[in-house]
Amino acid sequence: MTTRAPKIVPWASTAEYMGVADGLYSADADARRRGVAAVKAWRARGRVPAAVDATANLVEMMLADQQRPAGVTVSWLRHMYAMALIRFVNSIVDLEQKGVYAQSMTTLASRIGMPVWLVELRHACTHEQIPSLTVLRSACAQAYHWLDSYYWRRQSRALPSDTMDCFRAAASEYVAQRAARQNPSQSQSQSQAAPADKDAARKALKQLVGRLHPDAVRTHVVPVLLEPGLLVPEDRKLRAKFPDCALPAALLARWSSALRLFADAWGEARVFEELLAGIAGLLTPDSREHGIFEAGDSSIGTSHAATLVAWVRWVLESHYAGTERPPISIDGLLECCLRNPSYYSRAILKVVSDVDPALRRELRPFVDYMGKALAALVAADSKAAADPPKSGAPSISEEALLQEEALLEQRLAQALGAESKPLDADAASPTPPPTVPQAAPQASPCTRWAYAEQDSWSPCPIGTLGDGSIPPLEWPAWLDDVALRAAAG
């Protein structure tokens, strides 16, 4: 099943979007004027929803009517009101024209709850005499308030500012109620409670889910579900264990009803694909930031990770395996695990191999490579811990650095004409370098490099010598023909 393409909008965030809505319906004229200006900026960025565009047009027209700048006549106001009303009806009603055969605008307006007389007034403005200014003012005001109830209030309901807090509270209450029902040591009064009271938390969660926008699954629902205490219980007895990563029956019974509710509300593919993506992102950190096989979130323990892998196994066994056309796609899960090898991405790939025999042969080289690399890494860490380097003896890198420094000194002396030994015993005498031009700035070309005493250091500007002079940084042309290695005999 193909994933839903992201929708591009001209606003930067939900806060900006709802801020413009508050401005357009504010009692302050300046706030409404700023809302209209924001919508004009959105039009320059990209496509603006028809309801947003119509609201801004109506607000701009009403502001112009209130201010009445010099030169504005009643005829001008009537024509501008008529144009705003025509564009409002056409842009909103045309969105409902989805059938093969065109339907009348009156039928489409009745379907979405728009007052029919606005459509008739639009027809009069287009084909007949333009109505009076009083009628047009009343019509635009009603259209303005109808847009508020038809569009803007639904948007504010679907995108609440405290969505994550509300869902976290509802999910926590649901888990607490389910845990109390599963606890055999609960009191008799609790066990004899009415069924309606037992399902109160699920009903509250169902009402909240019904008000949430489908895009909230990725931004709010899945991040909350992956917090400790929800899909991964605080009680370690209810967690899975490596290497089998089998989901405990009690934990599945606790969440089966809620997961079914989420799938019915938002779609099976959306819920479980986003859940798999969230688990993969939590267990397989970006190797470009953390390094190969380096854990990302140190707060995730072994039992926590095993439980998340167990949820991956359950999702794949319940909603992916055993069907010719799986309702969910695991391409994103595989890409995340293969691009970011880690301790837990290998476990997820093993689960995929167990569930899907067709992919087992293709994934086996990657799983084997990760296993060998992890074993080598563990062995290297163990050896480094068992045999710490001695503090007095130079390390291999230090010895290599000293050898490289000596080799560079010989090459520098050879380039500047100093007498030096051959680089090896069989090397012939090097070809003498060409004569240095008289304009060369070196006063003593045979002078070797030497470390200055620490007591002789003195502050100087960056890029200058100790005496404050700027050294010549040009590369002499004659050095291009000097062989930096001794010619072999």
Q: In this structure, what are the phi and psi dihedrals at residue 427, rounded to the nearest 5 degrees?
A: -75, 145
Query: Among 355, 383, 411, which residue terminates a domain?
Result: 383
Query: How many domains does the chain divide into?
Result: 2
Between CA 65 and CA 81 the distance in angstroms is 9
According to DSSP, the residues that pair with 228 across neighbouring strands are: 232
**In terms of domains, do 144 and 199 share one?**
no
Question: Is residue 421, in this structure, part of any structural domain at all?
Answer: no
**In terms of domains, do 275 and 331 share one?**
yes
CA R_g for the chain: 37
Question: Is residue 351, in this structure, part of any structural domain at all?
Answer: yes
Q: In this structure, what are the phi and psi dihedrals at residue 76, rounded to the nearest 5 degrees?
A: -65, -40
**In terms of domains, do 374 and 278 share one?**
yes
Query: Among 322, 356, 383, which residue terminates a domain?
Result: 383
- Contact status, residue 320 vs residue 356, Cβ threshold 8 Å: yes
List, for residues 209-231, the tens digit of each pLDDT value: 887 777 778 878 888 898 888 99
What's the confidence (pLDDT) of residue 238?
A: 86
**In terms of domains, do 85 and 208 share one?**
no
What's the confidence (pLDDT) of residue 90?
A: 86
Reply yes or no on whether the pLDDT at 435 is more than 50: no
Reply yes or no on whether the pLDDT at 391 is more than 50: yes
Question: Is residue 388, in this structure, part of any structural domain at all?
Answer: no
Collapse the DSSP code of 248 into the 3-class scheme (helix H, G, I; strand E, B; otherwise coil) and give the result: coil
What's the confidence (pLDDT) of residue 204?
A: 83
**Residue 449: pLDDT band with limits 50, 70, 90:** low
The chain-wide mean pLDDT, for the chain, equals 76
What's the confidence (pLDDT) of residue 264?
A: 87
187 or 286, higher pLDDT: 286
Question: Is residue 320, in this structure, part of any structural domain at all?
Answer: yes
Nearest to 140 by CA among 28, 62, 30: 62
Question: Is residue 394, in this structure, part of any structural domain at all?
Answer: no
Chain-centre distance of CA 170, in angstroms?
Answer: 25
**Residue 76: pLDDT band with limits 50, 70, 90:** confident
Question: Is residue 359, in this structure, part of any structural domain at all?
Answer: yes
List, for residues 93-147, the tens digit of each pLDDT value: 877 776 666 677 788 787 788 888 888 888 888 888 888 888 999 999 999 998 8
What's the confidence (pLDDT) of residue 390?
A: 56
Asked which of 188-202, 255-269, 322-336, 425-439 is least confident by mean pLDDT, the reply is 425-439
**In terms of domains, do 145 and 220 share one?**
no
**In terms of domains, do 136 and 266 share one?**
no
ω into residue 243 within 30 of 0, thus cis? yes
**In terms of domains, do 77 and 130 share one?**
yes
Nearest to 153 by CA among 24, 62, 11, 265: 24
**In terms of domains, do 261 and 373 share one?**
yes
* Contacts of residue 43, Cβ cutoff 8 Å, sequence gap at least 6: 10, 53
Query: Among 383, 402, 427, which residue terminates a domain?
Result: 383
Between CA 79 and CA 101 the distance in angstroms is 32
What's the confidence (pLDDT) of residue 35?
A: 92
User: What's the predicted TM-score (pTM) here?
Assistant: 0.49
What's the confidence (pLDDT) of residue 59?
A: 93
**In terms of domains, do 108 and 132 share one?**
yes
480 or 251, higher pLDDT: 251
- Contact status, residue 196 vs residue 246, Cβ threshold 8 Å: no
Q: Give mean pLDDT, residues 466-484.
A: 66
What's the confidence (pLDDT) of residue 188?
A: 46
CB atoms within 10 A of CB 194: 8
* Contacts of residue 320, Cβ cutoff 8 Å, sequence gap at least 6: 326, 327, 328, 330, 355, 356
486 or 236, higher pLDDT: 236
Question: Is residue 146, in this structure, part of any structural domain at all?
Answer: yes
User: Residue 16 belongs to what H/E stretch?
Assistant: helix 14-24
What's the confidence (pLDDT) of residue 119?
A: 86
**In terms of domains, do 112 and 240 share one?**
no
What's the confidence (pLDDT) of residue 451?
A: 65
Question: Is residue 409, in this structure, part of any structural domain at all?
Answer: no
Reply yes or no on whether the pLDDT at 489 is more than 50: no
Between CA 65 and CA 58 the distance in angstroms is 11
**In terms of domains, do 213 and 322 share one?**
yes
Paired tokens of 385 = 């811990």
Between CA 123 and CA 117 the distance in angstroms is 10
Between CA 80 and CA 218 the distance in angstroms is 43
Q: Residue 380, class by beta-carbon neighbours within 10 Å (0-12 exposed, 13-18 middle, 19+ buried)?
A: exposed
List, for residues 33-75, the tens digit of each pLDDT value: 999 999 999 998 888 888 899 999 999 999 988 887 777 788 8
List, for residues 162-205, the tens digit of each pLDDT value: 677 888 888 888 888 888 877 755 544 444 444 445 578 888 88
Residue 78: domain span: 14-158
**In terms of domains, do 133 and 88 share one?**
yes
Tell me the CB-side half-sphere exposure of residue 219, using CA atoms within 13 A. Answer: 12
**Residue 452: pLDDT band with limits 50, 70, 90:** low
DSSP state of 2: P
- Percent of the chain whose predicted confidence (pLDDT) is above 70: 73
309 or 412, higher pLDDT: 309
* Contacts of residue 414, Cβ cutoff 8 Å, sequence gap at least 6: 420, 430, 433, 482, 484, 486
Amino acid at 380: A
Nearest to 309 by CA among 272, 279, 330: 279
